Amino acid sequence: MTTSSSTRFDRLLLTGAAGGLGRELRRRLKPHCRVLRLSDIADLGIAADGEELVPARLEDSAAVNALLNGVDAVVHMGGVSTEQPWAPILQGNIVGAYHLYEAARKQGVKRIVFASSNHVTGFYRQDEVISPRDPVRPDGLYGLSKAFGENLAQLYWDRHHIETVSLRIGSSFPEPKNRRMLASWMSYDDLERLVVASLTAPVVGHSVIYGMGDNSTSWWDNTPARHIGYRPRDSSERFRAALESADPRPDPTDPATVYQGGPFVRAGPFD
């Protein structure tokens, strides 16, 4: 896969490239490959040098199979990224994930970085510290679909030796937006470090790691995934005073305050 001292891969695929994190990774992944293939169902704009634009619907198995042709590795950010009704989650996150892994098997792709979510374990309490080895406790249909994706990744590792790093991404924004994100925040620079480490670690099998910064407050222990080589550098601490001042007395009876999933525990069809 190594093509020169400055690029590690010949062709990388980034799905969900028109989304919030996809747009950020689009510019950050290009230095790591000769060609960056970008896919989404939303507008991807104009291809820059070294980019390929290949729109594809994840529920279209033939389109996804063609999408993975000639690809060395996949960063899978595509699919539904919020709590939604069942139908779009089923198509984007469950049927679509199956099509992606089947295409990887058929096309000989051996490494996938899968955007899972902290909402796989959103019904743990905020007074608990958990690790990737603890049982899942999804906080909604979205979290449930990401738990399926992690199980799918495990199956394809056990049966077909396709390696995956499942990233239980917390809250990746330029800065944390509320008190909850003092624990879950991850900077864009740390997101890049996490994805690149997941792509380049020599051996990962199927590894699960929480996507978080070097925050003083933390609900997640990433010790079982230290072999990935991810070491966050950015902390939410410099934002603490402003966020606590804006919300000085959070309601201790509000499920969004009690549980790690925040507002997701009372979102969507479970209202």
Domain contains 264:
yes
Task: Provide the 3-class DSSP secondary structure of residue 206.
Answer: strand
CB-neighbour burial class of residue 194 (10 A; exposed 0-12, middle 13-18, buried 19+): buried
Q: Determine the average pLDDT of the residues in 101-123.
A: 98
What's the confidence (pLDDT) of residue 269? 62
Whether 142 is catalytic is: yes
124: domain CATH number? 3.40.50.720
Domain contains 56:
yes
61 in Cβ contact with 99 (< 8 Å): yes
Domain contains 89:
yes
Question: What residues have CB less than 8 Å from 30, skipping those under 6 apart?
Answer: 36, 48, 50, 51
Domain contains 53:
yes
109 in Cβ contact with 74 (< 8 Å): yes
Domain contains 1:
no
The Cα angle at residue 252 between residues 249 and 254, in degrees rounded to 5: 110
What's the token pair of residue 139? Answer: 């906080």
What's the confidence (pLDDT) of residue 8? 82
Domain range enclosing 193: 9-270
- d(CA 128, CA 236) in angstroms, rounded, equals 19
Domain contains 4:
no
Considering the entire predicted model, what is its pTM?
A: 0.94
**In the chain, pLDDT over 90 holds for what percent of residues?**
93
- d(CA 57, CA 69) in angstroms, rounded, equals 15
The active-site residue out of 124, 142, 156, 259 is 142
Domain contains 68:
yes
- d(CA 237, CA 183) in angstroms, rounded, equals 9
17 in Cβ contact with 81 (< 8 Å): no
**What domain count does the chain have?**
1
**65 strand-pairing partners:** none
What's the confidence (pLDDT) of residue 205? 98
1 has a pLDDT exceeding 70:
no
* pLDDT confidence band for 268 (50 / 70 / 90): low
Domain contains 200:
yes
* pLDDT confidence band for 267 (50 / 70 / 90): confident
Buried-exposed string 154-176: b where 16+ CB fall within 10 A, e elsewhere? eebbeeeebbbbbbbbbbbbeeb
Residue-wise pLDDT tens digits, 8-40: 899 999 999 999 999 999 999 999 999 999 999
